[in-house]
Structure 1
């Protein structure tokens, strides 16, 4: 019993060690082991008190000699144990240390024992010789009850029991985060001051990976706001939604096959879907290889949308990752600029042609310009106008490979370059 205070000292120093290759969750459970040891000591002390008290009650014992200094010593012991118990319990509450909580209980047991001694001595002095033993039995009951509660909590930690109501509160918290469809699993277990939380959530599979990471980060912040010491691990499972469009499914299937596609078109032909898209491959890829890759993707899309679906792809070279541009000859710049201004003047909806730039690259001339449209002009109309200018400019000026038009609403400031 006298060695009991040394148990939490060793346990806390050991539990404070960081996680390593052999202990991935750290060493904090050593505090629970220490608390269990101290619980056993308290039960042993309780049993000894009951045994001695019973012997005194049944067979009598040595007469208790009463003097003033005995009361002084007992009162001093109560004061010391009360102060140490409070300090240890405060530290245990602040650090969630089970070892310190067990040590605090140990000193409270000492304090209660001293109180029993004090009451017993007072009653003995009043002529009740049996009072000392009865008081000891009362204290033994209180100590045993407290030790039993501590033992329950300690075993719960060692057996990875989740705190009551925690799973439901974490599930409710996760369901309130935008983007989380449902929570498929919640696991939590305390280890010393740390609460380890593992969650599995379902998210729409159409979300970009960065958006999924954002959802997980927000959920981690929400959990830590409620449990600052939590160590949170979240797994997100992408799931298919009932309201996914055919376009959504096609883009997801392409992403699963690491395929770059664009210009996806879905048609409903008398109840039968027809899907077409542009499939990008490296320009030097042999046609047979590119066609085999496209066929694999077409098959996957057909399986994803239903067997009675028409699927076809247009194979085209993937744009280079980097083109090297430079200013063309002055006469080329003048020819392209004049032609562009002439074509733009034909379009009544377009105004304020500006920021014209021409660059020559390995693939030909790239023409960039900015223009304005009325703010309420439909995007489709704007696209038709600039697309028409591009087609006509490519026909009018030899070597133009691409025309990039940036449309701005009238009344807005010019786009910075």
Structure 2
């Protein structure tokens, strides 16, 4: 879930440092081969082969990085990041191969006698120069690898670091050979083999761990702790994470209260992702939710949750506590053309689910009513009808002393009948129940006074507040 600009900048940085490493590996290998053939040093020849393998490995890394940064596609939904790990595995095999050859040649010379080694100042300069280059390239590669979480660049950094120390061993072997110790050169080659083998072993372990989707120690717990700090997350029931090159794929399942609105659940999931990305910027995070019942759910919460689960539209839920048991009643909406038999069956199923959800010994009954049309086509009522209704509405409003400032009156004709909308004002301290009683009285009396009024919608506002804008 990291941004494309973020990925592009990392790709460019990784490609640049890999290209410079490729050039350095080529120059070092070439110089060491020349020095090895001139001097006859097995240690230096081993280093030359080592650097040649580094050149090949760095070339593999260079192209692997470019391939690994390809976006996900239909055949590779998780992207191509593991190509870097495949490249690192190839480098591991190369390192073990050169180790075997070095050991074989060194033991052969130690048992059958060493070869004469000719040393001159420029050969020493090649080795010293390679140590300096290896040191600088290793630091540059490791810095970029840490920043971009690149397995392939980390492998290259390890190679250059191993080269540096093995070159130091070769330098010591050349010095001892110059002093007359013939065994020093093959011994230096064995030291090089130890460095190469150690590097190969460490790189192989890390690479196989990545390819086998082994998560770093403590990562799952860390992700879980981050998620649980987000408001609304009750617990984290499952965490799965695996690195693939620079990308960390993380999947979390979080428990949330089942009574939460869908929009709130979406907000919680987004917040979990944001918090994880703060600590793991290149992560690809997927969060799923598990709605659970919580201890402080009210009876009303349970009823509404059960109705939602049954895709049932209910309102006017009333809950009574009697001496014997709980009594629940509600209005249950169905399509107006639904037969009574069908509607009764649906209502009964919902009643039974609510009864079971509240503990069984509960009185539950529903009032079935037609669901209002989702979309009505309306137009302004004729002038004569508007005049009649407005006069009747104003007359009724005057009888209600608590109501004032009748305004925004609209009257529309629909296929269901006339819809009357109006705004009015009440004192700010008026209880909602009192306001409802007044507007309900007006609705009933207006429908009695004027034919074909299907609905009266009143919007009440507190006195002193700005009028509601349509």
- TM-score (ref. length: structure 2): 0.81
User: Which residue in the other structure is 1:154 paired with?
Assistant: 207
Select the residue among 272, 275, 291 that pairs with 1:219: 272
User: Which of 203, 212, 230 is matched with 2:283 structurally?
Assistant: 230
Q: Could you tell me how far apart the structure 1 residues matched to 2:417 and 2:348 are?
A: 31
Deviations 1:154-175 (A, max 9, x none): 1211221112221111111111
Deviation of the 1:29 alpha carbon: 1.9
User: Match of 2:151?
Assistant: 98
Deviation at 1:42, TM superposition (A): 2.3
Structure 1 position 144 matched with structure 2 position 187: no
Name stretches of at least 5 consecutive residues in structure 2 with no aligned partner: 1-48
1:336 maps to 389
Could you report, residue by residue, the CA deviation over 1:195-252 in whole angstroms, capped at 9, with x for unpaired residues? Answer: 1101111111112222222221221222222212111111111111222222222222
In structure 2, the CA distance between the partners of 1:390 and 1:80, relative to structure 1 (3 Å rule), is same
Q: Give me the whole-angstrom Cα distance separating, in 2, the residues matched to 1:88 and 1:355.
A: 71
Instruction: Describe how 1:99-248 pairs up with structure 2 within 5 A.
Output: 99-248=152-301
The DSSP-based 3-state class of the residue aligned with 2:360 is coil
Q: Secondary structure at the match of 1:279?
A: strand
Quick check: 1:64 aligned with 2:99? no
Deviations, residues 135-180 of structure 1 (Å, cap 9, x unaligned):
4444444443333322221121122111222111111111111221
Question: Per the alignment, do residues 361 and 96 of structure 1 end up closer, same or farther by CA in structure 2, a change over 3 Å counting?
Answer: same
Q: Distance in 2 between matches of 1:338 and 1:136?
A: 109
Alignment size in residue pairs: 417
Contact 2:114 2:186 in 1 (8 A): no
Cα distance change on mapping 1:18 and 1:399 into 2, 3 Å: closer
Instruction: After TM superposition, give the deviation of residue 52 of structure 1 in Å.
Output: 4.3
Does the 8 A contact of 1:283 with 1:318 survive in 2?
yes
2:355 to 298, 302, 307: 302
Match in the other structure for 1:257? 310
How far does the alpha carbon of each residue in 1:284-337 deviate from its partner, in whole angstroms, 9 at most, with x for none?
222122212222222222222232222111111111122233333434333322
Cα distance in 2, alignment partners of residues 340 and 402 from structure 1: 13
After TM superposition, give the deviation of residue 133 of structure 1 in Å: 4.5
Alignment pair present for 1:274 and 2:331: no
Shift of 1:127: 4.8
1:345 is matched with 398
Structure 1 Cα separation of the partners of residues 89 and 386 of structure 2: 86
- Are 2:443 and 1:390 aligned? yes
* Local SS of the residue matching 1:404: strand
Which residue number in structure 2 is paired with residue 291 of structure 1?
Answer: 344
Tell me which moved more, 252-261 or 126-135.
Answer: 126-135
Residue 414 of structure 1: aligned partner: 467
181-190 or 225-234, larger mean C-alpha shift: 225-234
CA distance in 2, matches of 1:356, 1:28: 64
Compare relative contact order (CA 8 Å, sep 6+) and give the higher one, 1 or 2: 2
Structure 2: distance between partners of 1:259 and 1:332:
37
Instruction: Give the whole-Å Cα distance in 1 for the aligned partners of 2:92 and 2:384.
Output: 94
* SS at structure 2 position matched to 1:248: helix
Root-mean-square deviation (CA, aligned residues, Å) is 2.4
What is the CA-CA distance between 1:16 and the residue it aligns to? 3.7
TM-score w.r.t. the length of structure 1 is: 0.91
Distance 1:123 1:411 in 2: 100
Aligned counterpart, 1:78: 131
Structure 1 residue 363: Cα displacement: 2.5
Other-structure match for 2:20: none
| Residues 116 and 132 in structure 1, CA contact (< 8 A), matched pair in contact too | no
Alpha-carbon distance in structure 1 between the residues aligned to 2:342 and 2:286: 42
Deviations 1:37-76 (A, max 9, x none): 3223323434444454455555541232222122122223
**Structure whose residues are more often helix by fraction:** 2
CA contact (8 A) 2:115 2:182 kept: no
| C-alpha separation in 1, matches of 2:144 and 2:163 | 19
Residue of structure 2 aligned with 1:28, choices 81, 85, 93: 81
Match of 2:176, SS state, is helix
Taking the aligned partners of 1:325 and 1:119, their CA distance within structure 2 comes to 97
